[in-house]
Amino acid sequence: MSTRTSRRLSVALLVAAAFVAGVFFVTASGSFFDGALFGSAEAQQAPVVRGDVSEGIETATELGEAFSAVAEAVNPAVVSISSTQLVQQPAMGNPFQGTPFEGFFGNPGGGGGGQAIPRSGLGSGAIVRPDGYIVTNNHVVENADELVVRFFDGTELAGEIVGTDPFADLAVVKVDAEQLPYLGFGNDDELRVGQWVIAVGSPLQQSLSNTVTAGIVSALGRAQGINGLENFIQTDASINPGNSGGPLVNLRGELIGINTAIATRTGGFQGIGFAIPVDIVENVVGQLIDTGDVERGYLGIQFTSISQSLARALDVPVGSAQISSVLGGSAAAEAGLADGDIIVSIDGEELRTSNDLLAIVANRRPGDDLDVAYIRGEDRRRATVELGARPQDEQAQRQRRDRQSNDEPAGESMDALGMELGELTDAAAQKFGYGSDASGVYVVDVERGSEAFRDANIRTGDLIVSLDGEPVRSLRAFERIYDGIGQGETFLLTLQRGRQDSRQLYRTALTK
């Protein structure tokens, strides 16, 4: 064995031993890149890292420098996201309700039937476009009334939700900024178990934002019952509450996953974290930015994994998926697939686990063709399947069409209130929790900086019951009453927030 080879082996053993003992620390170092990373428009319009900093690494010091170089480049493209949700508390009953003294003993908090209590949350995000688009988890921003995005340099900007995808637990947030440093997307096909990865985020609290941890890819294709796709990257890079939505990157500084969950018995990190793979992230982010919605392909089957004994008997990969039932009229039925068929590969790629099948199909769009290799009995067959649309997506599209066709515009006079109003449709009633007999005018949208949102506590989905003491059963009635109110006058609104059967009404006030 040569001296050089022996020295390399010794260094490798030393690094491994140091990690086992828990004493390996990243060595501080300057960047490997020439010039300022963000000092020119050209740099700002390209991903933060270009090139593989792991090339040529021979010593522990060089490995530490590689981690430092990636961390220095990636950190400015990672943000902390603070969310605030105003939770309406139930009001105390008014003993004088229905009497002339009712107005003197109303709820002092304004709207909502009680006091609005702010509930705060913290998560992380990764900038994926220089014009202010940020990817994070859906559960980080879900039901948020206000988002504040904090950057690496301490700058804070208001964030607006572009679109969400609960099925994949992903969301896109937009800030009003240009020429931001951002992360490029990596290649899912290059992911390997044992590969070095780095996680960045805000664990536990905002003062710990841009915490960098390193580890390896522990496994691929994990299912944990977290979202609908169930095809996670497992990593031992430290992830804790608050890291949700932050990036998992490779040693090129490319985004390879979005950290989303941990497996724990204590509530803290125990060496098992999960990230949504980059191919899913890139597809969802692209659709949310383009249209605000996500379309997914649909096979129309139920399936299970196969046993190891069956895999050996048929000489097929143990990750193959066995069809347990085929939905009549579905894409799978049209292609001739049947109960008991065993799907081995999609588009020439063998399934690593049966979860791969769901992830592959869900990451395609309706109308896409899949080349499916499968086994029926002892025969090996192939079929071309044109994917359909998931029933949930079709239902959502019908509801959007219904809302667009039935919701009348509120008119120019409503712009001053910061609200858009519409006639209550069946779809809107179902979405916001009103009974089948509910009718009238509901709040389609409300500007977050308006008096209606900020002071009167009016929210999207609220049903307007009366205006200035008169009942409101249509947009025309609302506009007629509103037109009779003098400019600068304060008027009362009675509203209802969901659940027609509970009849929880509340009053608030606005100024024309």
Taking residues 503-511, report their average pLDDT: 76
Residue 1 has pLDDT above 60, yes or no: no
Per-residue pLDDT band for 417 (boundaries 50, 70, 90) equals confident
Q: How far apart are CA 77 and CA 157, in angstroms?
A: 14
pLDDT 10s digits, 215-246: 899 988 777 666 666 778 899 888 877 788 89
- Residue 337's pLDDT band, with cuts at 50, 70 and 90, is very high
More confident residue, 413 or 278: 278
Q: Select from 209, 212, 180, 177 the least CA-distant residue to 196.
A: 212
pTM of the full structure: 0.61
What is the reported pLDDT for 411?
35
What are the start-end ranges of the E strands in 316-461? Answer: 321-326, 342-346, 349-350, 369-376, 379-386, 388-389, 419-423, 441-446
Encode pLDDT of 90-112 as tens digits: 555 566 565 655 555 555 444 44
Q: What is the pLDDT of residues 138-185, one digit of tens each?
A: 988 888 888 899 999 889 999 889 888 888 889 999 999 989 999 999
Q: Determine the straight-line distance between the first and last CA of the chain, rounded to whole angstroms.
A: 87
CB atoms within 10 A of CB 273: 28
Provide the pLDDT for residue 227: 64
Single-letter residue type at 461: G
Per DSSP, 185 falls in state B
Rounded to an integer, what distance in angstroms lies between the CA atom of residue 7 and that of residue 58?
9
* Listed residue (349, 356, 297) closest to 321, CA to CA: 356
Q: How high does pLDDT run on average in the chain? A: 77
Q: Please say whether the beta carbons of 501 and 480 come within 8 A.
A: no
- Residue range 241-255: mean pLDDT, rounded: 88
What is the chain's percent helix, strand, coil content, to nearest 5? 25, 30, 45
Highest mean pLDDT among 54-58, 89-93, 278-282: 278-282
Which of the following is catalytic: 244, 330, 354, 466? Answer: 244
Place of tokens 């593989």: 52
* Structure tokens that stand for 501 in this block: 């059967």
Q: Which two tokens stand for residue 197?
A: 């990865």
Q: Given this model, what pLDDT does residue 372 score?
A: 93
Give the pLDDT mean for 73-79.
92
Q: Is residue 201 predicted with pLDDT exceeding 90?
A: no
Measured CA to CA, the distance from residue 137 to residue 254 in angstroms comes to 18
**Share above pLDDT 70 across residues of the chain, in percent, rounded to a whole number:** 73
Cα angle: 434, vertex 436, 440; to 5 degrees: 65
Q: Are strands 255-262 and 273-277 parallel, antiparallel or unpaired?
A: antiparallel
Tell me the average pLDDT across 268-297. 87
- For residue 51, the 8-state DSSP code is S
At which residue do the structure tokens 């395609």 appear? Answer: 364
CA distance linking residue 170 with residue 488, whole number of Å: 43
pLDDT of amino acid 115: 60
Q: What is the pLDDT of residue 452?
A: 84
pLDDT tens for each residue of 446-488: 887 678 887 788 888 888 888 888 888 788 888 888 888 888 8
On the question of pLDDT at 13 being above 80, the answer is no
- Model confidence band, residue 26 (pLDDT cutoffs 50, 70, 90): very low
pLDDT at 352: 83
Q: Comparing 194 with 270, which gets the higher pLDDT?
A: 194
pLDDT of 23: 33
Residue 27 has pLDDT above 50, yes or no: no
Q: Which residue has the tokens 């609290």?
A: 205
- Coil, strand or helix at 56: coil
Burial 372-384 (b: 16+ CB within 10 A, else e): bbbbeeeeeeebe
pLDDT for res 18 = 41
Catalytic residue list contains 169: yes
Do β-strands 247-249 and 196-201 pair in parallel, antiparallel, or remain unpaired? antiparallel
With 60 as the cut, is the pLDDT of residue 16 above it? no
Query: 44 or 233: whose pLDDT is higher?
Result: 233
Q: What Å distances lie between residue 409 and 413, 439, 482, CA to CA? A: 11, 17, 15
Band of residue 50 on the pLDDT scale cut at 50, 70, 90:
low
φ, ψ of residue 409 to 5 degrees: the values are: -65, 150
Helices (H) and strands (E) in the chain, counts: 12, 26
Q: What mean pLDDT comes out for the span 322-334?
A: 90
Question: Rounded mean pLDDT of 11-25?
Answer: 39
Q: Where are the alpha helices (DSSP H) in 322-460?
A: 331-334, 355-362, 391-406, 426-432, 451-454
Sign of CA dihedral 263, 164, 357, 351: negative
Q: What is the DSSP letter of 297?
A: E
Active-site option among 165, 169, 356, 393: 169
Query: How do residues 113-128 score in pLDDT, each as one tens digit?
Result: 456 676 778 889 999 9
